Chain A
Amino acid sequence: DVKVTQSSRYLVKRTGEKVFLECVQDMDHENMFWYRQDPGLGLRLIYFSYDVKMKEKGDIPEGYSVSREKKERFSLILESASTNQTSMYLCASSSPQTSDNQPQHFGDGTRLSIL
């Protein structure tokens, strides 16, 4: 089974701090994603990476950056955390093989609170 592991389930940080959320997958997937989930808004894509050192902005990239130095690891960085970034953050991975389009596999999420 694919496993996507997010380093923290719950995290509390202060306004202005630099925050790192880590995600690791064990299936050698090319694609990795970071979403935030807010009530009534579903999941919104922050950033997407389709290969090591490659990244693409999603729908709401402002205030975030990402890092993918190794294929299995995808980090989300809040450069200067603000209270409106309090949310549930979900990491996912998938394989882009067009012969059998693969669904995404999700981690359990990190509930981040910015005080």
Chain B
Amino acid sequence: AQSVTQPDIHITVSEGASLELRCNYSYGATPYLFWYVQSPGQGLQLLLKYFSGDTLVQGIKGFEAEFKRSQSSFNLRKPSVHWSDAAEYFCVLLYNFNKFYFGSGTKLNVKP
């Protein structure tokens, strides 16, 4: 069975510091993975996606993610966090071409 685990419920970083949000997945076939961001009171916005090819994926807003098959991970990173990055982040697995499995989310707080 497929699953997505985001082990950190809340993370606080200082503005300007680097960020890494963890995501582990379980799936028997080639995974298609996404990261979404949700600002307070808003819908979800796609940050980046991985289907195949380069394991380092660039997204919007300066985010990137690295796919590591050996570790079943797809961690999201940003070298320097801005206050506007405070939001909730979801790691998502696409399976059976039509179905999406969401992690439980990580809330990011940014200290001035």
Chain A residues in contact with chain B, CB under 8 A?
A: 4, 31, 33, 35, 40-45, 48, 50, 90, 92, 94, 96, 98, 100-101, 103-109, 111
**A40 engages B32 (CB within 8 Å):** no
**A107 engages B43 (CB within 8 Å):** yes
Which of chain A's residues have a CB closer than 8 A to the CB of B102?
35, 42-44
Contacts A33-B100, A104-B92 supplied; 8 other A-B pairs, CB < 8 Å = A42-B102, A45-B99, A94-B98, A101-B32, A101-B51, A103-B46, A106-B44, A108-B42
**B44 engages A42 (CB within 8 Å):** no
| Interface size in chain B (residues, C-beta < 8 A) | 23
Q: Could you tell me the dominant secondary structure of chain B's interface residues?
A: strand
Q: How far is the CB of A36 from chain B (nearest CB, A)?
A: 11
**A98 engages B97 (CB within 8 Å):** yes
- Top-6 shortest CB links A-B: A106-B43, A42-B104, A43-B102, A106-B44, A108-B43, A42-B102
Which of chain A's residues have a CB closer than 8 A to the CB of B36?
106
**B98 engages A103 (CB within 8 Å):** no
**A42 engages B43 (CB within 8 Å):** no
Q: Which residue of A lies closest to B104 (CB)?
A: A42
Which of chain B's residues have a CB closer than 8 A to the CB of A45?
99-100
Partner pick for B90 among A42, A94, A101, CB 8 A cutoff: A42
Partner pick for A50 among B43, B51, B98, B103, CB 8 A cutoff: B98
**B98 engages A31 (CB within 8 Å):** yes
**A43 engages B90 (CB within 8 Å):** yes
**B43 engages A109 (CB within 8 Å):** yes
Partner pick for A109 among B9, B32, B42, CB 8 A cutoff: B42
Which of chain A's residues have a CB closer than 8 A to the CB of B43?
4, 90, 106-109
**A41 engages B99 (CB within 8 Å):** no
Q: How far is the CB of A113 from chain B (nearest CB, A)?
A: 14
Known: A42-B90, A96-B98. A103 touches B104 (CB 8 A): no
Pick from A40, A42, A108 the residue with the most CB of B within 10 Å.
A42
Which of chain A's residues have a CB closer than 8 A to the CB of B97?
96, 98, 101
Which of chain B's residues have a CB closer than 8 A to the CB of A106?
36, 43-45
B19 at the interface (CB under 8 A from A): no
